[in-house]
Amino acid sequence: MTSFSLFKPGSIEPKISSMRTPEEAEALVAAMFSFSARFRTNSGGSGQDQSPAGSYFFDIAVSRLDRSLRDYGDTTPPFYLLQTLILTTFYELTRSVRSQSWRSVGNCVRLAYDMNLHLIDADQKSHNGAASNTPDVTQWSLLEERRRAWWAVWEMDVFASTIRRLPTGIDWSQNLTFLPVHDHYWFSDLYHGSCCLPRDPGLRWKALSESGNNSPRAWFIVINSFMSNTQLVVYTPSSAPQSVDNDAESTARELSIMANCLYCTVSSLPPELIYQSEPLDFRTRSFPRDITPRQYHSDKYAIYLMTRLCRFMIHHQKICAAAPWMASSNDSSIDQPGHTATSDWANYMSAADEIAGIIRSSAVDHHRYVNPFLMNTVWFAAAAQCACRVIGPAAFDKRLAESNLDLLRLTLDRFISFWGSSDTLKAKLSKLETHLVHLVERSKESSIVPGNNATAPLTSPANTTSLNHAIAGQPGAQYSNTEDNSSFIQSTVSGFPGPGTTSFNPDTWGFSQPFLPGNQAWRGILNDPTDFFPFGLEELLMYDNV
């Protein structure tokens, strides 16, 4: 498993032998098989694989785990049951980030807090390398296993919260657990220092560099944290109306800070973690205590894609603000100079092109050996290529964008097929370009608001504050199910309310407001937040000018 290392080689048998009941052992083993079953090969020669699918083992693991946890009542369960829960939750998240998996992430967070995994190193300072006062290696190794469980929960929490655009369950201000060290040190029982994840983004790369920790997991976590912080900048979790100008200026400053943090972090990466356009073949090795090339290549791939995702989130706001439907035809003050717009597009598209580049340099089946959460970054790159073809500057090669899109779409299809993920991203990508074309065509017309004889821009100044307010996120947004939301999406593109709308005031609604999941008028229309995110239509379009 390359996404994260929860167990030391050779530690499973002693762990199972120490369990209280056979049911607990069955839960852990079945949870492991729910992951490994995806990699089964047909060796019988019959042409059909008769071995159980991962879902079969997942069902066993969940049923055994639920009963085992109930048996402990108000007593804190043993640590290995949290490890089991992490594996089953990971399985759920690879399929979708809907209500069940979201609740499972919350259970992981609560159980980890119950075990005080957020305070493992509360009484220690960051250690540099192999410190002279080396602690007991056996104790350090046991605590390192708990640190890895904590950071696996942290990563799933960040991922699920980003997708659903909701607060994380983990309080970053009370995170006093060191980042994981390199697998080599843990597997070999060699102590190595590390550090906590500072709350201030500007201190993270400094603390990690000073600790001497060259773990790819630790550096990935730091970059992943920047992505989460950037989302909080773009989607301010405040329900109070704000000044549009002040909000735009503050957002621009914060995004510049995040861009600086990302640059410093990437510049400080250990040389062995820097991808330099070399082939990534994801081969394996037969030495269980050594780090395989597959793990090494997976780590490089993950760091590279997460860095590009951060760049996307930092730069695409200006791209969306410059979209033709975002500006009033009567207001030329917001038009950007040609060279500025082209520069913004260059920063934006370079990240998408670089993702296509690393995919070309990777093994055809690399999607099997990397973190499946990264398929959302691949989707973002594909959506950017769609946007470039429709609204990109003329200087950009649209044929290259088309070719890159084919590559990214094929990769996304392989991710979804292998990991059994929801088809939401695939379906949304197939519709995205059509919607963009419709929006461009609308922007060229007089933009008559339905039910009103007066003309108005697609995002009128009167609606700007309410749009900011909606983007900021309304508390208590609810969703309900619809079997097919294609008619809803099409109706919002054409400017009319979708099915089931109970109220619609054409004088106070801009075209873009129906896309926002938090809008009151669209409650009762949508149940699955992943229909809009990660990186749905509003993620490309729904920004005011910066």
Q: For the beta carbon of residue 455, count every other beta carbon within 10 angstroms.
A: 14
Buried b (16+ CB within 10 A) or exposed e, 283-298: eeeeeeeebbebbbbb
CB distance 87 to 153 below 8 Å: no
* pLDDT for residue 248: 75
Give the pLDDT confidence score for residue 287 in this predicted structure: 56
How many CA atoms are closer than 13 Å to the CA of 116, on its beta-carbon side? 6
Confirm if 154 and 221 have CB atoms less than 8 A apart: yes
Distance between CA atoms of residues 393 and 87, nearest Å: 45
Query: How far does CA 123 lie from the centroid of its chain?
Result: 32
Domain boundaries, the chain: 12-38+51-274, 275-546
Q: State how far the alpha carbon of 379 is from the alpha carbons of 26, 108, 515, 517, in Å.
A: 36, 27, 19, 20
Per-residue pLDDT of the chain (546 residues), as tens digits, is 788 899 998 899 999 999 999 999 999 999 999 998 888 765 555 556 678 888 899 999 999 999 999 999 999 999 999 999 999 999 999 998 988 999 999 999 999 999 999 999 998 876 665 554 667 899 999 999 999 999 999 999 999 999 888 899 999 999 999 999 999 999 999 999 999 999 999 999 999 999 999 999 999 999 999 999 998 887 765 444 444 455 778 888 999 999 999 999 999 999 999 999 999 999 876 555 556 889 999 999 999 999 999 998 888 766 665 555 555 443 443 344 455 556 778 888 899 999 999 999 999 999 999 999 999 999 999 999 988 888 788 888 889 999 999 999 999 999 999 999 988 888 888 788 778 888 777 777 644 444 444 444 444 433 333 333 332 333 333 333 333 333 333 333 333 333 333 332 323 323 233 333 344 433 333 344 344 333 443 444 332 222
Q: Which among 237, 189, 195 is positioned nearest to 215, based on CA atoms?
A: 195
Q: Which of 412, 410, 431 is nearest to 422 (CA)?
A: 412
Residue 363 and residue 341 in contact, taking contact as beta carbons nearer than 8 Å: no
Report pTM.
Answer: 0.80
Nearest to 536 by CA among 423, 402, 424, 437: 424
Other CB atoms within 10 A of residue 416 CB: 20
Closest Cα partner for 404 from 418, 386, 431? 386
Which residues lie below 8 Å from residue 535, measured CB to CB, with a gap of 6+? 376, 379, 380, 383
Report how far residue 342's alpha carbon sits from residue 320's, in angstroms, rounded to the nearest whole number. Answer: 13
377 three-class SS: helix
CA angle 525, 528, 532 (to 5 degrees): 90
Q: How many Cβ atoms from other residues are within 10 Å of residue 113's Cβ?
A: 17
Q: Is 103 left (phi over 0), alpha (psi -120 to 50) or beta?
A: alpha
Contact status, residue 244 vs residue 469, Cβ threshold 8 Å: no
Query: Residues near 354 by Cβ (< 8 Å), separated by ≥ 6?
Result: 304, 308
DSSP states of 473-498 as a string?
--TT------S--HHHHHHHHHTS--
Q: What is the residue whose two structure tokens read 């108005």?
A: 456
Phi–psi pair at 453, nearest 5 degrees: -85, -15
CA distance 508 to 519: 13
DSSP label at 280?
B
pLDDT at 290: 55
Tokens of 346: 């260059």
Ramachandran quadrant class, 500 (left: phi over 0; alpha: psi -120 to 50; beta: rest): left
Angle at 270 between CA 265 and CA 273, to 5 degrees: 95
Q: How far is residue 505's CA from residue 524's CA, in Å, rounded to a whole number? A: 17
Q: How far apart are CA 175 and CA 197, in angstroms?
A: 7
Q: How far apart are CA 437 and CA 449, in angstroms?
A: 19
User: By C-alpha distance, which of 542, 478, 477, 480 is closest to 513?
Assistant: 542
